[in-house]
Amino acid sequence: MKRSATLARVRLAGRRQAGGGAGRTARVWWAVAAAAALVVGPGLVPVTALANAPAQAQGSLAQGGLAQGGLAQGGVTMRVSHTQEIDTLNPFTAVFLISTQVGRLMYEYLTVNSAESSSPEPGLAESWTTSADNLTWTFKIRDAKWSDGMPITAKDAAFTYNLIMTNEDAASANGVAVANYQSVTATDDRTLVIKTKAPQASMLSSEVPIVPEHVWSKVTDVKGFQNTETLPAVSSGPFVLTGYQEGQSTTLTANDNFWRGRPKVDTLQFVKYENSDAAVQGLRKGDVDVVAGLTPAQFGAIKDESGITTNEGRNRRFAEITMNPSNPKADGTTFGNGNPVLKDLAVRKALDHAIDVKTIVERVKQGFATPATQLIPPVYPDWHFTPAAGQQRGYDPAKANAMLDAAGYPKGGDGIRLDKAGKPINLRLLGTSDNSQQQQQSEFLKEWFAAIGIGLTPEFKSSNQSNDDQNAGNFDLAFTGWSVGPDPDSMLAQQTCKVVGTELSDSNFCNAEYDRLYAEQLAELDREQRKQVVQKMQSLLYDNVSALILTYDNALEAYRSDRFTGFVRQPADGGVITGQNGYWGYYSATPVTVAAEADDGGSGNNAVLIGGIVAGAAALAAIAVVGITRRRRAGADERE
Amino acid sequence: MDPGGAGAGVVDVLAAEGVAADLGRRRFRGGGSTVRFAATKIGGGLTSLVMVVVLGFFLFRAMPGNPVRALTRDRPGDLAQVERLKREWSLEDSLPAQFVDYVADLLHGDLGTSFKYRQPVTELIMGRLPATLLLTGTALVLAVALGLWLGTRAAWRHGSRFDQLATATALVLWSVPTFWLGLIVLMVFAVGLDLFPTAHLTSPGGVSGFVPSVLDVAHHLVLPALTLVAVVYAQYLMVMRSSLLEEMNADYLTTARAKGLRDDDVRRKHAVPNALLPTVTIIFLHVGFLVSGAVTVEKVFSWPGLGLLTYEAIQVPDYPLLQGSLIVLAGAVIVTNVLADILYRFIDPRVRAA
């Protein structure tokens, strides 16, 4: 009788168990029952919380996580996913792209990059003038307020710059911007004077976050400061940092004092997804509202989904194959072991002619890219280079073969050309093993190079190993690519002689005329004049085939258009929403219906939770009854 | 409760193996050397830990990778900045000099400062530890409970349909790639049925109040824990099943039945305690690895665990963070192994005798 009663109760709990009674192992059975409840009912949410010892500990854990994130989040919340880690939110030390994206939203610069074309326009500085010798810049600071209501003055800007100039720790992220500064002073509350050692054309794109002196003068250890110690973190941009959960989420709240006006989104959250597939699922479900960095496959899969709008944005990245032309390093030592044939311009030109970039765009990049000309992508119309009619090179294997014949590289028996020493020309192509696009490209390249009699051996390695090889010069050709900033200076500097063989070099290119032009453009404060020089420099790189520059890759993004709209793109014509050189995309986001959407996800979850609590409690009660009965039985057994 | 239950079972085994007489003689000397035994084991553990420290340092530096390149990419940079970073991270110093600095800091309890996060390594690791243990601990408890229960049933009625079904299901789940299974679980339960969130330990930004936050974490824990349990419980099931099968025909079970004990009691009081030992061994092995997290599950469900922290540190490579994680992970394994060694002495008389 007893036995069947027990069985019935076990059935109540949703699991069929053979046999009855329990003794010393009762605890195990309790755990089993809890596990069974978990497996049986995915809706039995709280069971995990109530039935397991480890889960009990999570109360304090969640509290800990909340310490910084528990601020009231009224109004509309927009969630943006990211996969890159946030290194730190301290604007003096943050270097990762996502961290500087968040930084842009928090701290205004003196000048910002326009949504239209990334050209400089007023930020905290309303206007500026330069002295006749081009060495002194005078900025007029806007009459605006910090998020805590204190006035923003020129002294805050002077404090920020001087901190970077005098404190090595504060120079980690933006030291380069002030390297050429002689002095920075605030002559009054509205006037900031920057004296430079030499003329500096890139001044207005320096992107230094200006911090409030009344907060940061109290920070003693700038290097270790995370900027999450005291929240909200006082700032001047469209949003204020109000919460941070390491490895999970960053919460920003609309800044009522932002000088352009309060953003339309009340709360902006950056949530970290560890893989983009899960982020796409999060978007489909509505856990996140904006997702960037999609693969073509993901982009295609959600393209027609209702409520979601995809955006193929023109971006600021270019993809290339760099060569090791065996130029010596600045100290005169040789750089690595590149194949000497790459010193020959005829060979580099022939390789460029052999590549059918259109096929790469269509077959490998699936149309989400455009053929590239030079370093600076067309999203920067001021600096982008278009070769002249007669200068243009194109896919032309016949011409490549003719060039190699003329340059004295005869074909050997197996169709592979021989170098000057009579050895077959076989080039190594370095790539990273986790990049499938590079692997696809290498298959095409093998064919194309074979057609002009040049052997190609792709070597796919871990990204760390590939970094090491590129740094040591142990490669002939290597896949790489760069994200280009609003001022061309940095990218152009990466092609100069003094950085050959260092962490900074892109192409390991070295040309005296180029270096002269580089200095010239940096000192040329007239934008129109500077454009001419920058064109000349890229023309020189193009004619010398400093690298095999392949494509400008578009950024693939998607957002919940049933919740948000009105995103301003950068560039305005077909640009990106995330990853901008500015805050335009997030600042302009407009809720579709302000009232209805505010707590949609929340109430749904609550329903599940309430259902879960009831079901979980029922299951627990059943388990308890079973457990008690078994204990009693066990006692009876022993008495027997 | 009667400790004789386990004791009697063990003696049953020994009798079956015919070594009881031998043991009886040696058991008397066993207790006296317990302290020396523990000291030896702890000493061994400490030696291993020192080796981990030394090995970790040189291993990570022999690994390819250039932190300066990784952390200056795609940003305006100049040679002065490169020099500054190399100086800050002592990358230009000789390896022995770096090692001496590292050990000196370590002796002060300082694991160094992460290159990437610019935060003390200890803080980073401690920050990730609770979430890691919550996930792996919950999964271990559930997997062990489920594995032992199913394994016992399967073995007791081996060959039955229950046995076949349980074993096959466990093995299929065990063989399925974790990442794939995780994504399927995510698509079905989080997106399709809309029952659970797609990521993280808490709702973004957290929720306020104690009970709501406990429920919030529990809600987020279900899918990762479920995935992890599904993937690992087979090993407990299989070990429990096979060790119980070995006991099935033992004479002492016949004796027990002959005494008139019911089948359930035969299983529970005689067979299972004897079959439990190999399973306990595996459990101890896995307890040590709890700290290291579960990288794949963490990656699918964006769970902020130690496994991911370490994995992402490799890509820099962030030497201080890698060294710190290795010490913590290896330390946990070493400590549980020493504990297991010592505990065995009490659980299993054969160890005392050996």
Count the alpha carbons within 13 Å of A519 in the hemisphere toward its beta carbon. Answer: 8
3-class secondary-structure state, position A215: helix
Q: State the angle between helix axes of A26-40 and B121-156 in degrees (0 to 180), rounded to the nearest 10.
A: 100
For an interface test with A, give the residue of B59, B202, B232, B314 to mutate (most A CBs within 10 A).
Answer: B202
In B, minimum Cα distance to A499 occurs at B79
pTM of the complete model beyond 0.90: no
**Pairwise CA distance, residues A23 & B276, whole Å:** 15
| Averaged pLDDT for residues B248-260 | 85
C-alpha distances out from residue A241 to A231, A256, A271, B53, Å? 7, 13, 14, 39
**Pairwise CA distance, residues A434 & A430, whole Å:** 12
User: Do the Cβ atoms of B127 and A246 come within 8 Å?
Assistant: yes
User: Do the Cβ atoms of A179 and B197 come within 8 Å?
Assistant: no
3-class secondary-structure state, position A228: coil
| CA dihedral of residues A579, A583, A584, A587 (deg, nearest 10) | 120
**Pairwise CA distance, residues A200 & B202, whole Å:** 48
Radius of gyration of chain B (CA): 25
pLDDT at position A620 is 60
**Pairwise CA distance, residues B150 & B167, whole Å:** 8
In A, minimum Cα distance to B134 occurs at A54
User: Do the Cβ atoms of A79 and B204 come within 8 Å?
Assistant: yes
User: Do the Cβ atoms of A467 and B65 come within 8 Å?
Assistant: yes
User: Do the Cβ atoms of B69 and A503 come within 8 Å?
Assistant: yes
User: Do the Cβ atoms of B145 and A63 come within 8 Å?
Assistant: no
A-chain CB neighbours of B192 within 8 Å are none
User: Do the Cβ atoms of B221 and A58 come within 8 Å?
Assistant: yes
Give pLDDT tens digits for B31-83: 557 788 888 889 999 999 999 999 889 988 888 888 888 888 777 778 888 88
Q: Which residue of B145, B208, B298 is in closest CB contact with A28?
A: B145
A-chain CB neighbours of B265 within 8 Å are 21, 23, 637
DSSP B46-58: HHHHHHHHHHHHH
B-chain CB neighbours of A282 within 8 Å are 198-199
Q: Give the whole-number percent of chain B exceeding pLDDT 70.
A: 89
C-alpha distances out from residue B352 to B22, B29, B33, Å? 12, 9, 9
Alpha-helix runs per DSSP H in A420-546: 436-451, 463-472, 489-493, 512-523, 527-543
Q: Which residue of B64, B146, B189 is in closest CB contact with A468?
A: B64
Query: Is the pLDDT confidence value at B280 over 90?
Result: no
pLDDT along chain A (640 residues), means of 10: 37 34 40 42 34 29 33 74 91 90 94 91 94 94 94 95 92 89 94 94 92 93 89 94 92 94 94 91 93 92 92 93 90 89 94 95 93 94 92 93 93 89 93 90 94 94 88 92 91 92 89 94 92 95 95 94 93 91 93 57 46 57 56 46
For an interface test with A, give the residue of B138, B160, B228, B315 to mutate (most A CBs within 10 A).
Answer: B138
Residue A69 sits at the vertex; the CA angle it makes with A107 and A169, to the nearest 5 degrees, is: 45
**Pairwise CA distance, residues B270 & B5, whole Å:** 7
Query: Is-contact A293 A577, C-beta < 8 A?
Result: no
Q: Which amino acid is at B119?
A: Q
Q: State the angle between helix axes of B210-247 and B121-156 in degrees (0 to 180), rounded to the nearest 10.
A: 40
Where is pLDDT greater, at B148 or B344?
B148
3-class secondary-structure state, position A501: coil
Query: Is-contact B116 B316, C-beta < 8 A?
Result: yes
How far apart are the CA of A464 and the nearest CA of chain B, in angstroms? 4
**Pairwise CA distance, residues B117 & A495, whole Å:** 30
Give pLDDT tens digits for B124-143: 999 888 889 899 989 999 99
B-chain CB neighbours of A57 within 8 Å are 130, 133-134
**Pairwise CA distance, residues B319 & B317, whole Å:** 6
Q: Which residue of A247, A282, A465 is in closest CB contact with B304?
A: A247
C-alpha distances out from residue B63 to A466, A569, B5, Å? 12, 42, 53
A-chain CB neighbours of B221 within 8 Å are 48, 55, 58
Mean of per-residue pLDDT scores for chain B: 83
**Pairwise CA distance, residues A43 & B226, whole Å:** 12
3-class secondary-structure state, position A308: strand
Residue B200 bridge partners (DSSP): none
Count the alpha carbons within 13 Å of B146 in the hemisphere toward its beta carbon. Answer: 27
In B, minimum Cα distance to A640 occurs at B261
User: Do the Cβ atoms of B225 and A36 come within 8 Å?
Assistant: no
For residue A476, give the nearest of A345, A333, A348, A331 by alpha carbon: A348
Q: Is A406 exposed, middle or buried (0-12, 13-18, 19+ CB in 10 A)?
A: exposed
Cβ count near B180 (within 10 Å): 11
Q: Which two tokens stand for residue A4?
A: 């069947």
How far apart are the CA of B182 and the nearest CA of chain A, in angstroms? 10
C-alpha distances out from residue A265 to A123, A550, A562, Å? 21, 39, 15
For residue B283, give the nearest of B179, B162, B142 by alpha carbon: B142
Query: Is the pLDDT confidence value at B278 over 50?
Result: yes
pLDDT at position A51 is 30
Q: Residues 6 or more apart from A283 whose CB is under 8 A from it?
A: A81, A289, A290, A291, A302, A308, A558, A559, A560
B-chain CB neighbours of A470 within 8 Å are 69
Query: Is the pLDDT confidence value at B6 over 50?
Result: no
In A, minimum Cα distance to B138 occurs at A54
How far apart are the CA of A156 and the nearest CA of chain B, in angstroms? 23
* φ, ψ (nearest 5 deg) of residue A570: -130, 120
Residue A369 bridge partners (DSSP): A553
In B, minimum Cα distance to A462 occurs at B64
How far apart are the CA of A196 and the nearest CA of chain B, in angstroms? 17
**Pairwise CA distance, residues A428 & A413, whole Å:** 21
Confidence bin at B258 (pLDDT 50/70/90): confident
In B, minimum Cα distance to A80 occurs at B204
Residue A236 sits at the vertex; the CA angle it makes with A230 and A240, to the nearest 5 degrees, is: 45
